[in-house]
Amino acid sequence: MSANGAAPAVEVRDVSRWYGDVVAVNGVSFALEPGVTSLLGPNGAGKSTLLHLMAGFLRPSAGEVRVLGEPAFGSPDVYRRIGLVPEREAVYPFLTGRDFVLLSARLHGLPDPGAAADRALREVEMTDAAERATGGYSKGMKQRVKIAAGLVHEPDVLLLDEPFNGADPRQRLQMTEMLRRMADEGRTVLFSSHILEEVERLGENVLVVVAGRLAASGDYRAIRQLMTDRPHSFTIRSSDDRALARALVVEESVTGVDLADGALRVRATELAAFTTLAPRAAQSAGATLFELRPDDESLESVFQYLVRR
Amino acid sequence: MNAILLVAAMTARQLLGQRRTIVVVLLNAVPVLVAVIVRTVETDQSAAQLVASPVLEWTTLFMLPLTALLLATAALGGEIEDGTAVYLLSKPIPRWRILAGKLLAAWGATAAIVLAGAALAGAVVLAGEGGWNVLGGYLVALLAGSFAYGALFLMLSLLTSRALLAGVAYVFIWESVITNFAPGVQRASIREYTLGIADLASGAPASVIDADLGGVLSLILMAVVSAIAVAIAARRLARFELSGEA
């Protein structure tokens, strides 16, 4: 249950899914609340299987998947509140973009499907190309028209499988803004992506799946803080790197110091403690700090750490 | 427009835009060609006999099942294969309605193409002659057969990714070979039901249409087989799962 007592938007409880002898997802549990969450993992980690389980297109071999309190599998009514954007590029090539989104609006039984389709197409900036057959669309255009079809009924939960595939940088930016806006409106947005830049831009909440298991979930910066077995790495530039290195190496929380390529690289056990320690050490060494940059606080570093474990 | 008609209209557009539709149209032009040849050849047989066999018997034996096979397996199996089925299945619609729309489209497209070819071929042979009741009987039977074959092949496309192969085996091995050698097996052949219904609907003398089953029995068995195929397909679609990719 969430803080207000309502069921989580998406609840995955002890879920496993296997195909014959192959275990694709193994004992995964998490709950999603409104906001943007990214689903990350290397190829074959089980991301698509998890998304398909949440979208009601796979039955769990064990455990339970509920969306807005309803079982995800075998409940077509749940699609009134779920929007799904599949990874596969195929759309109906003989339909125009508008007809494709209109079909989705009509199948949802919306009272004014035409207006809903036009609004969704505006949302993804596809109004100008809406009257062209989707068969002639670029990969990025197909992606956007698929998103328009997925959000035409203004769902509470939007599940997107690799939505940034094929989109150019401007389209990616526009898409991230749109997804963030949807999250700000109180919707639950979950998307899988390989493009960590976009993931980082969209928000902090991640689910990291490795070899079918949930390796980590939550704010990736908090996840990084919990990786006590991985010292934090910093690059420092100062007026006297050598003196500063001497001052730092004696500190208990500093586990390594390297002087190379005109910069000082330091490994420390605690991020917060080091940010106060470094200026103090510089002062005692008589050096002026020009730059203090954490090297491995990015999502990519966190992801790499989790995947290599 | 309700969901069944929406799905049917979209599927019909999809089917008509495919290359395999050109193949089935050409396939159904064969009886017309046969009719033209039959018309030009001197024979003792009446026009009614000629239209029954070879012209419309060929349609029943080959054109009808092959047309239904190519169209019904494309109606849903093709979408499952290329992933577009997700756009229909992720809607708040009972799955049986999606199936009904698909069946309606496959039936309509099959019937339209097969009946057009059969009607034209029959008209070529019968023009200025008697025996139009034989053509009428066949058209009714082909309409019913289109539905039964459509239901069967739609079911196959939900049970196996090799539905086309399974359908070809059914038409050319089961209906063409096994039913000729194993007595009683005709009762499990949509081809035989179609011939039985044609015989019943035409009201022609027994020697005109070569039917092994009675008309009423054929109607009942065809209804039962169609209902079973639709029920299995609906159950399968209700529990549809995407094929595994991690």
Compute mean pLDDT per 10 residues along chain B, 246 residues long, and list them.
91 90 94 90 81 86 96 92 92 96 97 96 87 92 97 96 95 90 82 93 81 91 97 95 67
CB burial readout B34-45, b (16+ within 10 A) else e: bbeebbeeeeee
Distance CA(B68)–CA(B110), nearest Å, equals 5
Give the residue carrying structure tokens 């009509």. Answer: A106
Assess if residue B184 is contained within a domain: yes
Residues A26 and A43 in one domain: yes
Each residue of A109-139: pLDDT tens digit?
999 999 999 999 999 989 999 999 999 999 8
Asked whether residue A171 is domain-assigned, the answer is yes
What is the number of CB-based contacts under 8 A between chain A and chain B? 82
* Same structural domain, A231 and A148: no
Q: Which domain covers residue B215, as residue numbers?
A: 3-238
| pLDDT score of B246 | 46
Q: Does any domain span residue A305?
A: no
Residue B234 φ then ψ, to 5°: -65, -40
Chain A residues with CB-CB distance to B91 below 8 A: 76, 79, 104, 107-108
Q: Which residues contact B173 (CB under 8 A, 6 or more apart)?
A: none
Residue of A nearest to B87 (CA): A104
Contact A82 B90 (CB under 8 A): yes
pLDDT number for residue A100: 97
Q: Give pTM, 2 decimals.
A: 0.84
Question: What is the predicted pLDDT for the residue at B87?
Answer: 95
- Per the domain annotation, does B245 fall within a domain? no
Inform me whether the C-beta atom of residue A194 falls under 8 Å from chain B C-beta atoms.
no
Residues A14 and A38 in one domain: yes
Whether B125 maps to a domain, the answer reads yes
Radius of gyration, alpha carbons of chain A? 23
Looking at the domain assignment, is residue B233 inside a domain? yes
Task: Tell me which residue in A19, A52, A79 faces B91 most closely, judged by beta carbons.
Answer: A79
Question: Of the candidates A170, A202, A219, which is a domain's last residue?
Answer: A219
Whether residue A133 sits in one domain with residue A194: yes
Instruction: Please check whether residues A89 and A211 belong to one and the same domain.
Output: yes
Same domain, A128 and A249: no
CB B74 within 8 A of CB B105: no
Same domain, A213 and A232: no
- Distances B6 to A94, A171, B21, B98 between C-alpha atoms, Å: 15, 32, 21, 9
Q: Is residue B107 part of a domain?
A: yes
**Amino acid of residue A184:** D
**The residue count for chain B:** 246
Query: Domain residues for A272?
Result: 227-296
The CATH number for A92's domain is 3.40.50.300
Whole-number pLDDT of residue A229: 66
Q: State the SS3 of chain A.
A: CCCCCCCCCEEEEEEEEEECCEEEEEEEEEEECCEEEEEECCCCCCHHHHHHHHCCCCCCCEEEEEECCEECCCCHHHHHCEEEECCCCCCCCCCEHHHHHHHHHHHCCCCCHHHHHHHHHHHCCCCCCCCCEHHHCCHHHHHHHHHHHHHCCCCCEEEEECCCCCCCHHHHHHHHHHHHHHHHCCCEEEEECCCHHHHHHHCCEEEEEECCEEEEEEEHHHHHHHCCCCCEEEEEEECCHHHHHHHHHCCCCEEEEEEECCEEEEEECCHHHHHHHHHHHHHHHCCCEEEEEECCCCHHHHHHHHHHC
CB distance A103–B82 less than 8 Å?
no
User: Does residue A301 belong to any structural domain of this protein?
Assistant: no
Asked whether residue B243 is domain-assigned, the answer is: no
Taking the C-alpha atoms of residue A168 and residue A61, their distance in angstroms, rounded to an integer, is 38
Counted domains in chain A: 2
In a domain, residue A303? The reply is no
Residue B193 domain-assigned?
yes
**Does A80 lie at the interface with B, CB-CB under 8 angstroms?**
yes
Which residues of chain B does A56 touch, with a Cβ-Cβ cutoff of 8 Å? 90
Point out the residue among A45, A84, A92 whose CB comes nearest to the CB of B14.
A92
Residue A179: partners with Cβ closer than 8 Å, 6 or more residues away = A36, A158, A160, A163, A189, A191, A202
In-domain check, residue A40 = yes
Compute CA distances B136 → A89, B143, B200, B210, whole Å. 47, 11, 11, 16
Q: Is residue B38 part of a domain?
A: yes
Do A176 and A273 lie in one domain? The reply is no
Q: Which of B6, B92, B239 is nearest residue A103 as measured by Cβ atoms?
A: B6
For residue A203, what pLDDT is reported?
72
Last residue of a domain, one of A219, A239, A261: A219
Whether residue A76 and residue B246 make contact (CB cut-off 8 A), yes or no, is no
Q: Mark whether A41 and A152 lie in a shared domain.
A: yes
Which string of DSSP letters, residue by residue, matches B35-61? HHHHHHS--SS-HHHHIIIIIIHHIII
pLDDT tens for chain A, residues 1 to 309: 454 567 789 999 999 999 888 899 999 999 999 999 999 888 888 899 999 999 999 999 999 999 999 999 988 999 999 999 998 888 999 999 999 999 999 999 999 999 999 999 999 989 999 999 999 999 889 999 999 999 999 999 999 998 888 778 888 888 888 889 999 999 999 998 877 777 777 777 888 888 899 988 888 777 766 666 677 888 898 999 999 999 999 888 888 899 887 789 998 887 778 888 889 999 999 999 888 888 876 777 777 777 766
pLDDT of residue B244: 54
Q: How far apart are CA A252 and CA A241, in angstroms?
A: 19
How far A103 CA sits from the closest chain B CA (Å)? 8
Neighbour tally for A271: CB within 10 Å? 16
Q: Mind telling me how many Å the CA of A72 is from chain B's nearest CA?
A: 11
In a domain, A68, yes or no: yes
Q: Tell me, what CATH number does A251's domain have?
A: 3.30.70.100
- A181 and A89 in a single domain? The answer is yes
Side chain identity at residue A280, one-letter code: R
**Could you read off the pLDDT of A19-44 as tens digits, one per residue?**
888 899 999 999 999 999 999 888 88
CB proximity A114 to B under 8 Å? no
The region, left, alpha or beta by phi > 0 then psi within -120 to 50, assigned to residue A212 is: left
| Phi/psi-derived region of residue A124, left when phi > 0, alpha when psi is between -120 and 50, beta in every other case | alpha
Q: Give the pLDDT score at B125.
A: 87
DSSP state of B243: P
The verdict on B176 touching A (C-beta cutoff 8 Å) is: no
- Which pLDDT score, from 0 to 100, does residue B121 have? 93
CA separation, residue A279 to residues A234, A239, A260, A288, B132 (Å) = 13, 13, 20, 8, 103
Residue A309 belongs to some domain of the structure? no
Domain tally for chain B?
1
Q: Is there a contact between A103 and B88 (Cβ–Cβ < 8 Å)?
A: no
Last residue of a domain, one of A159, A189, A219: A219
In a domain, residue A98? The reply is yes
Are A66 and A180 part of one and the same domain? yes
